[in-house]
Amino acid sequence: MNDRNLESKDLSIEVADLTVAYGDKPVLWDIDLNVPKGILMAIVGPNGAGKTTMIKSILGLVKPAAGRVLILGKPYHKQRHLIGYVPQRGSVDWDFPTSVLDVVMMGRYGALGWVKRPGKKERDMALEALDKVGMKKFSDRQISQLSGGQQQRVFLARALVQEAEVYFMDEPFQGVDAITERAIITLLRELREAGKTVVVVHHDLQTVPEYFDWVTLINVRRIASGPVDEVFTDENLKTAYGGRVAFISHRKQEANEHVDIGEDRE
């Protein structure tokens, strides 16, 4: 498959034989994945396909049963300072007593190191990031007073101040308004222009070709991974979603008709 010809120095993420199991139930099975630098990649797949688990196991939040992950050529724990992470918005309690600015500054905690408190520099970085996501005037607001879209922007701003090379975002478009969706996609494109790699767990198949360069389809196993116009085919979608997918694309089908899942796997 096309990611085979990529050389290691062009890759931002290399995943080999990644297997994750909860108890004896496999959640991810023998995943191989090579992601080049400077692209926007979507991870798609049905509910329970292991999309979130894949991100979490790459980040070391879930311990894989087997497998190897390299970020920019080195193991994850050596590259933490190069990674930005946006967890699912619903994974935290937004009634926590803190302000928008404070949450964004948490993105600097990794660079700050132990014990040290955030200061003016962190404050300025956080305000700048909030400005980028259009939330500067909300910086003093208590986080429980934010709408869903605003919460998502705050999380994005927090990832921005991490000044990472590789970003992982878990469903950033989940339940946000149209304006926020546009704002997010503009931001993602800016990150790509700056040479960053962005991996996004995505659930809206319709927008995949418009928003992303690359796509990885998974359903416990990796179904396909590569440039959107090569691997985002009806056939691969059917394999991933078990034929239940109502989405029929209007893209040119002919060029992709030979893509066979059997060839995908190495």
Partner 1 sequence: MELFGFLGEIITDYTLRTVALGSAILGIISGALGSFAVLRKQSLLGDAISHAALPGIAFAFILTGIKSPIILIIGAAVAGWFGTLLMLSVIKNTRIKTDGALGLILSTFFGFGLVLLTYIQKQPQANQAGLDKFLFGQASTLLQSDVIIMGILGAIALVILMLFWKEFKILTFDPDFGESIGLPIRLLDILITFLLVIAIVIGLQTVGVVLMSAMVVAPAAAARQWTNHLGLMVVLAGIFGIIAGVSGAIISSVGAKLPTGPIIVLCISLIVGISMLFAPNRGLVWNWIRRRINRHRLHLEAVLSDLYELTLHHERRDHPHSVRALETMSIGGGEFVRNSLRELQTKGWVKNVSGDEWALTESGLAKANDLVKERQV
Give residues in contact with partner 1 (CB under 8 A): 56, 59-61, 77, 80, 83, 85, 87, 91-93, 96-99, 103, 106, 109-110, 112, 114-115, 117-118, 142, 144, 158, 162
Q: 66 in helix, strand or coil?
A: strand
Q: 218 in helix, strand or coil?
A: strand
H helix or E strand, kind and range, residue 25? strand 25-36
d(CA 100, CA 92): 14
Least distance from partner 1 to the Cβ atom of residue 10, Å? 24
Do the beta carbons of residue 241 and residue 222 sit within 8 Å?
no
Closest CB to partner 1 among 79 and 236? 79
Closest CB to partner 1 among 77 and 250? 77
What's the token pair of residue 10?
Answer: 């062009």
Least distance from partner 1 to the Cβ atom of residue 142, Å? 4
Do the beta carbons of residue 59 and residue 42 sit within 8 Å?
no
Q: 29 in helix, strand or coil?
A: strand
Closest CB to partner 1 among 169 and 223? 169
Least distance from partner 1 to the Cβ atom of residue 18, Å? 17
Least distance from partner 1 to the Cβ atom of residue 204, Å? 23
Least distance from partner 1 to the Cβ atom of residue 162, Å? 8
Closest CB to partner 1 among 1 and 112? 112
CA dist 28 → 49, 66, 176 (Å): 8, 10, 28
Alpha helices in 113-167 (DSSP H): 120-132, 148-160
Closest CB to partner 1 among 83 and 215? 83
